[in-house]
A and B are shown apart, each in its own frame.
Chain A
Amino acid sequence: MITTFAAALNAGLRSALEDDPKVVLMGEDIGRLGGVFRVTDTLQKDFGDRRVIDTPLAESGIVGTAFGMALRGYRPVCEIQFDGFVYPAFDQIVSQVAKIHYRTRGKVRAPLTIRIPFGGGIGSVEHHSESPEAYFAHTAGLRVVSPSNPADAYTMIRQAVALDDPVIFFEPKRRYWDKAEFDPAAAPELPLDRARVCVRGTDVTVVAYGGTVATALAAAKLGAEEGISLEVVDLRSLAPLDVDTIAESVDRTGRLVVVHEAQISGGLGAEIAARITERCFYRLEAPVRRVAGFDIPYPPAKLEKHHLPDPDRILAAVDRTLAA
């Protein structure tokens, strides 16, 4: 079927609700409105307001009560309306949800999925375009994933909901309207924690995730026109990192550029650069380079084109890597 990213998520959530009566969705405006991005459209109509639950406007409350429901055997899927609204829930996520399995020596599980539309590129106002993934990838006990396309969105949300560990599920909001064809009946191609090589190439490996995968693919296309062969790896899982897949790619290409929207310092790119330096030091032909957001709060919409990695910035980094 051909569908948008948002509709693929909707289909994945529908399937999760059908498969397991203990799955409930919780969040602000997810019921009659179907969510501000319509990801939960029609689900409350079809599953009722006790499975698709509109909550008061309080993020700590959403995650904290979802955690309480999980303690009674439910599998809540929380929607945080926008990335910049997750911070009030931060304590519940990192102090409670992430730690309960460790704290109880495995006696209590918190199979929560916390969906967060993230990243920029939609011309929105403050607090609506942030990339907080490093905070969560830095937190033991959480898994952090981000699909980059409709097919993965459908598969990965179902895998996340079925997993017995808490998952932070970052949805690149500027890709909600991207369309693609996929077969919902097909078996998952990859486990939730595996990266994927999207495009094979020989000169430079480009690692991206979420919203920047499409940007990296565009760079690969432009690069090919200039005679540069890029291999694009879609990370998919930010925690744990699939270092093996990246390292195998770098073993082939000898060069690595990491792309993300989040600010560069202390970001996922730094972790990947360190891991690959440990693993592939003798294969690397050049220092690992990062193309990322600047170390600034997310800028006003009219400036975001400068802040967000674009194909030209990626290719400039590729050029410097090749020149090294």
Chain B
Amino acid sequence: MPGTTEYPVQLIQPDGRRVHNPEYQALVADIGPEELRRLYEDLVVTRRIDTEAVALARQGQLGLWAPCQGQEAAQVGSARALRPDDYVFGSYRESAVAYCRGVDPSAMTAMWRGVSHSSGDPAAVNMANPAIVVGAQGLHATGYAYAAQLDGAEIATVAYFGDGATSQGDIAEALTFASSWGAPVVFFCQNNHWAISEPVHLQSATPIAHRAVGYGIPAIRVDGNDVLAVLAVTRQAAARARGGGGPSFVEAITYRMGPHTTADDPTRYRTAAETEEWARRDPILRMRLLLEREGLLDADVQRRVDERADEVAHRMRTETITMADPEPSELFDHVYATPHRVLDEQRRDYTAYLADDPACALATAAPAAREEGVRS
């Protein structure tokens, strides 16, 4: 693995031709025609989820959405390298990872719609809730990985983050802790070139993977728009974690083709020429060219893939727009796992207020004081 930080690993060229790379080809030797088609389906379905969610946001059904368009191969390739008992931490842009982990797409939209802060039950999919303060999850993953090691569990824990997050102290601290403890964590950086309007060179003067080397953590750069190459390098890193080899760092070089969120206007900070250049490296286009070149994509397969994408998107749309607003009493639910006297009182008072109870205005006063208050 060391020594691969200069030239990104690639197994498929943008025009769909294979790249001869015996070391990394061997890691995906089991990916035959059906597995390739399945990866292609994942890419298409997750882009469909993304475009549907953007549409829902434009229609006012979601307050916001963070598109992952352009990053599907980095997310699908890495997520499909994992086993169900591996554990994943991510930020808010990991919708394709979440899909691969089995998160219901309507659980993803619930957060952006403002119905809930959460994206379902982390334990059901072994994927933590999205970190909005980016970088924080690097430490959570490191602690989780270390705890798994204490348990004797042979699993990999993956922290997904972007190039912007690498400027946060928490990622630096996570690298320190992981290195010091030999924690079985895979740091998976999606270098998508833009942290809202800030280009990656504002975050790092060197290739991001170089930083890990300084912590004694083996690092690799991979073409993040090449699903097969990402699958290969992530399998290698995850196997290393599961086998007790400690942490590793993957920098997937990719591109956020859309805005940072649906509230962002990327035309203010980047050129059309740059976006067009990356459109030619589109991860889905690349996979389709490979399949066509190898005679694996006919009309039936394409129809099956499109139907699956439509079905997932339709279900997400229906479930999202019919989502009920939470009850007001849910404001107070789950702040604490154990009873809390101050919060119990606030819940009681506000419930009485909503019920238009005439006594509620004085509900915070002690019973004796209330009597005096009424008398005066």
Contact = CB atoms under 8 A, between A and B. Distances in A.
A50 interface: yes
A58 interface: yes
Contact of A92 (B136, B147, B150): B136
A241 B116 CA distance: 28
Contacts of A182: none
A101 B129 CA distance: 11
B176 A71 contact: no
B122 A240 contact: no
Contacts of B373: 282
B157 to A, nearest CB: 8
Interface in B308-366: 333-338, 340-343, 364-366
A72 interface: yes
Nearest to B119: A104
Interface in B49-107: 87, 89
A210 B122 CA distance: 38
A270 interface: no
A140 B141 contact: no
B144 A71 contact: yes
B134 to A, nearest CB: 11
B144 to A, nearest CB: 4
Given A107-B118, A282-B369, A65 B136 contact: no
A69 B147 contact: yes
Nearest to B148: A72
Contacts of B366: 247, 279-280
A154 to B, nearest CB: 21
Contact of B365 (A58, A239, A251, A279): A279
A30 to B, nearest CB: 15
B129 A58 contact: no
Contact of B338 (A67, A71, A91, A163): A163
Contact of B143 (A71, A102, A243, A244): A71
Contact of B146 (A63, A68, A165): A68
A64 B341 contact: no
B102 to A, nearest CB: 15
B343 A240 contact: yes
B173 interface: yes
Contacts of B333: 105-106
B151 interface: yes
A50 B150 contact: yes
B335 A101 contact: yes
A96 B117 CA distance: 12
A286 interface: no
Interface residues of B, number: 50
A105 B334 contact: yes
Contact of B336 (A65, A69, A165, A282): A165
Contact of A58 (B123, B145, B173): B173
Nearest to B144: A68
Interface residues of A, number: 57
Nearest to B339: A193
A242 B144 CA distance: 35
Interface string A264-280: 00000000000000111
Nearest to A99: B117
A235 to B, nearest CB: 13
A214 interface: no
Nearest to B364: A278
A165 B337 contact: yes
Contact of A240 (B140, B141, B150, B341): B341
Interface string B130-167: 01010010111111111110110000000000000000
Nearest to A61: B173
Contacts of B15: none
B11 interface: no
A103 interface: yes
A188 interface: no
A60 B176 CA distance: 12
Contacts of B146: 65, 68-69
B4 interface: no
Contacts of B148: 72
A177 interface: no
Given A68-B144, A240-B341, A107 B123 contact: yes
A71 B140 contact: yes
A60 B128 contact: no
A85 interface: no
B278 interface: no
B169 interface: yes
A140 B338 CA distance: 13
A104 B122 CA distance: 8
B145 to A, nearest CB: 7
Nearest to A66: B143
A193 B341 contact: yes
Interface string A92-121: 100110011111111111010000000000
B369 A68 contact: no
A88 interface: yes
A92 B139 contact: yes
A42 interface: no
Interface of B: 87, 89, 116-118, 121-123, 128-129, 131, 133, 136, 138-148, 150-151, 169-170, 173-174, 176-177, 180, 333-338, 340-343, 364-366, 368-369, 372-373
10 contacts: A60-B169, A66-B143, A71-B128, A72-B148, A95-B133, A108-B123, A165-B336, A244-B341, A279-B365, A281-B365
